[in-house]
Amino acid sequence: MIENLTSLMALGIALAVTAVTPASGADRPPGVLRVGMPLIAETLDPPRVDNTQATVVMAGIYDTLYGLDPLARPAALVPVAATALPEISADFRTFTMRVRPGIFFTPHPSFGGKPRELVAADFAYSIRRVLDPAIRSPMLILLGGKIEGLDALAKRAQDAGRAIDYDTPVSGLLLVDRYALRIRLNAPDPTFPFLLADPILAGVAREVVEAEGERYGQRPVGTGGFTVAAFTPGQRITLLRNPAFRSMHWEDLLTPASRAAQSAHPMRGRKLPAVERVELSHTPEASAELLALRAGEVDLIYLNQPELATRNGRLNDELLRDGLTLVRDPAPITLMSLFSMRDPVVGGNAPEKIALRRAIHMAFDDDEWIRVLDGGFSSVRQQFVPPGIEGYIPGYRNPNRFDPAAANALLDRFGYRRGNDRMRRNPDGSTLSVGFLMDTGSQGRKRAEFIKRMLDRIGIRVAFESTGKAELLKRMLHCRFGMALMDFGFEVPDGTNLLVIFFGKSIGGMNMSCYADAEFDTAYEQALVTPAGAARTALFRTMQSRLDAYGPARPLPFGDLLFLKRPGVVGPFATSNDWLRLMTLAVEPPSAPAR
């Protein structure tokens, strides 16, 4: 409850215009956390963001209806701004959520000097904004085609060349009362509530957005634990604890199972947010950022170049002597080698084409990939759905894992004979050359060198073609390539979110391999409407087995999330939807022992 509105409004206005000088080294005041970020966002307006780093910050500024338990694996929802988990209809098409009364936005002149409560209409407004053609949200893919009547409203706005009508009723977005929102989907989707945990759909005040206009992304107003004190897009963000934030503790973000299992967690019993100020900065040179960490100018960094700080899979001795700690967590991201099923060389379902694809998969040495390309900090993936995501199959082993002897035998059996140059030819005697589409960056070049070495082992000639990311994506969307690499991050922590890239109805969009398999499609559609449990796990096993049998893709190791931290920085660090949640990090006094 806001008790002294006038004072808080004055404080909010002062914070918006006051430059905050970063603390450094031993002069850091208590309760200040300084984080080195891979990038600093250009905007903090939810539907306009296009990177994970922005959602990290927005998770502290805004409230979502739900959040993800930071300890639960697979991911589990907990109410945040909602009073309880959603009421879900038997057909998984209708979801009813009730907003917790008594949550207030930080003061803004557009509120007319009165406390402004967070209500159901603020979430309905945020949802409409994602589909607004005037905004051109990069996150449209999350909601496009999902909510009954909303796409038609957006289409009318687009055809008229104007913004979406925010007041016209939509059958799929019903305000039951001041606090209750009912969403009706076009098709069943048991995973839909996970979208409501994404900061892209956080509650936003319409009057503030309209009053601020284009400036809103740099002057956001939310109901979360932090306010924005200073923001230089692309360079620096300073957040201060919201003095009017409601009472919240670490345990409020946990499911009963996690609460019971976390008795020794360093965040146990802490009030959130657990710091008074967060200073986020971006240093273009990773080596300079590491020096800043060692000098005590920042407290926590993402370690994107592990070779700077590690050797043979462990932290360098001098950094250990500095008291630094390496935090490692498998990333909820999948990297895969991908074939176009329409390519004349590697595509199609003729037995020899399937054999060629599977042999190429078996030429990839995961352990060498980890050592050469990821500095020893990757996890081998046996399946497309990574651990910690619903749909992961415990104990499943990829039949196409590294085995060059089996790969060579398979190629011999299906007529891919070696010529005098020891390179293989097609069964009809013509030259065999597999096209591989790569991006033009330095990482692409390193991967190309590695892939050539792998395929040389089985006598497969590879022709690399490098292109810019825009052209690469265009080619892949039309399945105009032989092989390529593709990574996938989860907007929804569920295996169907990834496996849609092999769903036949997604050809021309997310299905960039143009893989078409009726048995896979049937299992996928059943998984969309089957609750978690043994029956759903069996469907994921069917899908994974079909992919392994036909070989349109193979999961590759993906670099783990790595953080370097100074003593006294505690928290869960990585969660299954955000790489770093500022609400759940704490800084202990320098005299306290590191945890």
Q: Tens of pLDDT along the chain (595 residues)? A: 333 333 333 333 333 333 334 444 445 567 999 999 988 999 999 999 988 889 889 999 999 999 999 888 888 999 999 999 999 999 999 999 999 999 999 999 999 999 999 999 999 999 999 999 999 998 888 899 999 999 999 999 999 999 999 999 999 999 999 999 999 999 999 899 999 999 999 999 999 999 999 999 999 999 999 999 999 999 999 999 999 999 999 999 999 999 998 878 899 999 999 999 999 999 989 999 999 999 999 999 999 888 899 988 889 999 999 999 999 887 888 999 999 999 999 999 999 999 999 999 999 999 999 989 888 888 899 999 998 899 999 999 999 999 999 999 999 999 999 999 999 999 999 999 999 999 887 788 899 999 999 999 999 999 999 998 888 888 998 999 999 999 888 878 899 999 999 999 999 888 999 999 999 999 999 999 888 899 999 999 999 999 999 999 999 998 888 999 999 999 887 655 555 678 999 998 765 444 4
Query: Do 99 and 165 lie in a common domain?
Result: yes
Rounded-to-integer distance, Cα 301 and Cα 289, Å: 8
- How much is the pLDDT for 376? 87
**Torsion angle of C-alpha atoms 245, 251, 252, 254, degrees rounded to 10:** 140
Contacts for 465 with CB less than 8 Å, ≥ 6 apart = 435, 436, 437, 438
Query: Do 337 and 272 lie in a common domain?
Result: no
Q: What is the DSSP letter of 55?
A: H
Classify 570 as helix, strand or coil: strand
- How much is the pLDDT for 15? 33
- 283, part of any domain: no
Rounded-to-integer distance, Cα 151 and Cα 147, Å: 7
Residue after which a domain boundary falls, among 277, 296, 325: 277
- How much is the pLDDT for 443? 80
- 310, part of any domain: no
Residue ranges of the alpha helices (H) in 2-67?
A: 5-17, 52-61
Q: What is the pTM of this model?
A: 0.83
- 234, part of any domain: yes
Whether the Cβ atoms of residue 153 and residue 170 lie closer than 8 Å to each other: yes
Query: Do 65 and 181 lie in a common domain?
Result: yes
Query: Do 122 and 216 lie in a common domain?
Result: yes
- Write the CATH number for 479: 3.10.105.10
Tally of domains in the chain: 2
DSSP 153-185: HHHHHHHHTS---SSS-BTTEEE-SSSEEEEEB
- 284, part of any domain: no
Residue after which a domain boundary falls, among 277, 298, 314: 277
Query: Do 252 and 392 lie in a common domain?
Result: no
Cα 435–436–439 angle (5° rounding)? 145
- 309, part of any domain: no
| Residue 241: Cβ within 10 Å count | 18
Q: Which domain holds residue 543?
A: 333-559
- Write the CATH number for 122: 3.40.190.10
Sign of CA dihedral 240, 246, 249, 253: negative
Query: Do 352 and 237 lie in a common domain?
Result: no
Query: Do 373 and 263 lie in a common domain?
Result: no
Q: Is the peptide bond before 220 cis (omega within 30 degrees of 0)?
A: no
- 134, part of any domain: yes
Query: Do 415 and 534 lie in a common domain?
Result: yes
- How much is the pLDDT for 28? 59
- For tokens 């055809």, name the residue: 159
Query: Do 380 and 491 lie in a common domain?
Result: yes
User: What element of type H or E holds 407?
Assistant: helix 404-413
Whether the Cβ atoms of residue 552 and residue 297 lie closer than 8 Å to each other: no
Rounded-to-integer distance, Cα 568 and Cα 449, Å: 42
Rounded-to-integer distance, Cα 446 and Cα 494, Å: 31
Residue after which a domain boundary falls, among 251, 277, 303: 277
Residue ranges of the alpha helices (H) in 243-386?
A: 256-261, 286-294, 317-321, 351-362, 366-373
Query: Do 126 and 272 lie in a common domain?
Result: yes
Query: Do 526 and 387 lie in a common domain?
Result: yes
- 305, part of any domain: no
Query: Do 204 and 95 lie in a common domain?
Result: yes
- 214, part of any domain: yes
